[in-house]
Amino acid sequence: MKKLLTILVDCPDQKGLIYKITSVLYQNELNIIKNREYVDLDTNRFFMRTEVEGLIDEAELAAELKEALPDQSWISVVSDRKKKLVLLVTKENHCLGDLLVRNHFGEWNADVKAVIGNYEVLRNFTERFDIPYHCVSAEGLSREEHEQKMIQTIDQYAPDCIVLAKYMRILTPDFVKHYEGKVINIHHSFLPAFIGAQPYKQAYDRGVKIIGATAHFVNHHLDEGPIICQNVIPVDHSQNASDMARAGKDVEKMVLAQALKLVLEDKVLLSGNKTVVF
Instruction: Output the pLDDT for position 131.
Output: 98
- Cα-Cα-Cα-Cα torsion 52, 57, 60, 66, nearest 10 degrees, comes to 30
Domain boundary among 79, 97, 113: 79
**Residue 205: pLDDT band by 50, 70, 90 thresholds?**
confident
Q: Give the CA angle between residues 47, 53, 54 to the nearest 5°.
A: 120
Does residue 72 sit in the same domain as residue 43? yes
Does residue 68 sit in the same domain as residue 206? no
Give the total number of structural domains in the chain.
Answer: 2
- 223 annotated active-site: yes
Edge-to-edge strand list for the sheet holding 210-217: 133-135, 110-117, 83-89, 161-164, 183-187, 210-217, 227-234
Does residue 124 sit in the same domain as residue 54? no
User: Residue 130 carries which DSSP code?
Assistant: T
Could you tell me if 200 and 171 are in contact, meaning their C-beta atoms sit under 8 angstroms apart? no
Closest C-alpha to 214, from 252, 260, 246? 252
CA distances from 82 to 73, 110, 164 (A): 26, 5, 20
Q: Which residue is catalytic, options 98, 160, 223, 266?
A: 223
Q: Determine the structural domain holding residue 48 and report its residue range.
A: 3-79
Q: What is the DSSP string of 138-171?
A: -TT--HHHHHHHHHHHHHTT--SEEEESS--SPP
Domain boundary among 44, 79, 114: 79
- CATH at 65: 3.30.70.260
Does residue 90 sit in the same domain as residue 153? yes
Residues 208-240 pLDDT 10s: 888 888 999 998 876 778 999 999 989 888 888
What is the rounded CA–CA span in Å between residue 18 and residue 214?
A: 33
Q: What's the predicted TM-score (pTM) here?
A: 0.91
Does residue 69 sit in the same domain as residue 164? no
